[in-house]
């Protein structure tokens, strides 16, 4: 039997819970001083104070001493687009010179640029680059990541992206949760025929995604000039009928009503939400939709941040994620997201940690299995190199993750052992 004991933690930050935390609950981190956790066969079997470790667990165990360290659940990055071909570095320089999104599109940039390069990329290339990106995420303490398709906009490439993610989930230590985002943008051939494109996604791509078990979620970019509320509802309703869970890119650029649609359809999460209305926020809270906020994108695009403080104060469960993608947010840096949330989004340190752990898990409908250090959950634990969780945002933009334990096994360490 494989058994690991982590003990003597200055702070064991459990983030304890089995569902999303709302409002004041987000400040409760469930801290145990001089804490310990026992993991057997990848599952957490015991949590408590080090002197109280039951004697039967101390036999035949690998012991990790966390003296003067802080122990947290693994971070959950619940919104990324990490499987893509090529890069768009030139667009970043255009944006710095003042070009807006439409001007960049006219120069041949935007999502269509990544679509072309992803179509050209082989599966082997996407797997290799995907492994490198997951390695980087692991170094920040990420143990579960969501990944979206959406850089294909056709049958072959959408399926290719999802198949690559399925292989990465098997090959890499990080768990990969795949999302079908075929309705990410409107291809040039379908401009003015957006309904026909939704038909293509529903009738030709979606059935294969479901039959081959390539995705857990379906997402859609519900936005002015992309897909309307009606088109988004049609796409998501079809996916829901076939058993996929729902996410939605909502109210990022204009207040279109995507938050309300997420509540109406019972989506697991609605993401971005920079322009979400008060009513949309209330409806999401009422219907237990998680608000996944992506401050790295707002920062990169020099936009206003989503109203995290208002959302939390109105009992909406808030998660945070990187939105790692080749265009608007080319970063997998969890420390950057933590800095933005605490410095610019009026989130407390405790709310920020909750948003990246148990609420990130809830945004993937996995709060019963990951996201906290609770008996019965997966043994995904990160040891941080300082004695208090307050060092995590204090060391601005720098990862404090020293060791990562995935399914009870050490899979990353910052320093030589």
CA dist 11 and 14 (Å) reads: 9
The answer to whether 327 is annotated as binding is yes
CA distances from 372 to 5, 78, 301, 312 (A): 16, 15, 32, 20
Report residue 204: phi and psi, to 5°.
-110, -35
The answer to whether 172 is annotated as binding is no
Chain length of the chain: 417
The answer to whether 184 is annotated as binding is yes
The answer to whether 328 is annotated as binding is yes
The answer to whether 88 is annotated as binding is yes
Longest dimension (CA), the chain: 69
| Helix H or strand E encompassing 382 | strand 381-384
The answer to whether 323 is annotated as binding is yes
The answer to whether 151 is annotated as binding is yes
How many CA atoms does the CB half-sphere of 62 hold within 13 Å? 13
The answer to whether 136 is annotated as binding is no
CA dihedral 393, 397, 401, 402 (to 10 degrees): -120
The answer to whether 27 is annotated as binding is no
- CA 227 to chain CA centroid, nearest Å: 23
The answer to whether 116 is annotated as binding is no
Supply 392's token pair.
């995590």
408 within 8 A of 43, measured Cβ to Cβ: yes
| Annotated binding-site residue numbers for Fe(3+) | 79, 81, 249, 323
| Annotated binding-site residue numbers for N-formimidoyl-L-glutamate | 151, 325, 327
| Annotated binding-site residue numbers for 4-imidazolone-5-propanoate | 88, 151, 184, 252, 328
| Annotated binding-site residue numbers | 79, 81, 88, 151, 184, 249, 252, 323, 325, 327-328
| Annotated binding-site residue numbers for Zn(2+) | 79, 81, 249, 323
């Amino acid at each position: 039997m494989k058994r690991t004991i982590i003990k003597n933690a200055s702070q064991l930050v459990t983030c304890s819970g089995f569902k999303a935390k709302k409002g004041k609950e987000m400040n409760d981190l469930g801290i145990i001083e001089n804490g310990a956790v026992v993991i057997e066969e990848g599952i957490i079997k015991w949590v408590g104070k080090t002197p109280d470790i039951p004697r039967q667990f101390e036999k035949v165990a690998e012991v990790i001493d966390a003296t003067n360290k802080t122990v947290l659940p693994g971070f959950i990055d619940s919104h990324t687009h990490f499987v893509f071909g090529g890069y768009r570095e030139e667009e970043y320089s255009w944006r710095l010179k003042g070009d807006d999104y439409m001007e960049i599109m006219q120069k041949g940039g935007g999502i269509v640029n990544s679509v072309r390069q992803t179509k050209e990329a082989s599966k082997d290339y996407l797997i290799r680059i995907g492994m490198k990106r997951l390695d980087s995420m692991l170094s920040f303490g990420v143990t579960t990541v969501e990944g979206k398709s959406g850089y294909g906009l056709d049958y072959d490439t959408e399926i290719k992206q999802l198949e690559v993610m399925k292989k990465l989930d098997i090959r890499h230590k990080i768990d990969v949760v795949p999302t079908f985002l075929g309705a990410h943008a409107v291809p040039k051939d379908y401009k003015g025929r957006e309904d026909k494109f939704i038909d293509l996604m529903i009738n030709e791509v979606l059935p294969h995604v479901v039959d081959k078990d390539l995705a857990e979620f379906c997402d859609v970019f519900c936005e002015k000039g992309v897909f309307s509320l009606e088109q988004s509802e049609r796409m998501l309703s079809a996916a829901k009928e076939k058993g996929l869970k729902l996410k939605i890119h909502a109210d990022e650029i204009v207040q279109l009503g995507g938050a309300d649609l997420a509540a109406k359809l019972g989506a697991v999460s609605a993401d971005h939400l920079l322009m979400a209305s008060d009513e949309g926020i209330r409806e999401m809270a009422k219907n237990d939709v998680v608000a996944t906020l992506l401050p790295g994108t707002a920062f990169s695009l020099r936009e206003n941040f989503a109203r995290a403080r208002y959302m939390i104060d109105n009992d909406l469960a808030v998660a945070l994620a990187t939105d790692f993608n080749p265009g608007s947010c080319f970063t997998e840096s969890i420390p950057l997201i933590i800095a933005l949330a605490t410095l610019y989004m009026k989130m407390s340190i405790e709310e920020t940690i909750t948003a990246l752990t148990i609420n990130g898990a809830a945004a993937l409908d996995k709060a019963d299995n990951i996201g906290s250090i609770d008996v019965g959950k997966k043994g995904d634990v990160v040891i941080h190199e300082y004695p208090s969780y307050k060092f995590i945002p204090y060391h601005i933009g720098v990862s404090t993750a020293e060791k990562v334990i995935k399914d009870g096994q050490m899979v990353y360490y910052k320093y030589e052992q």
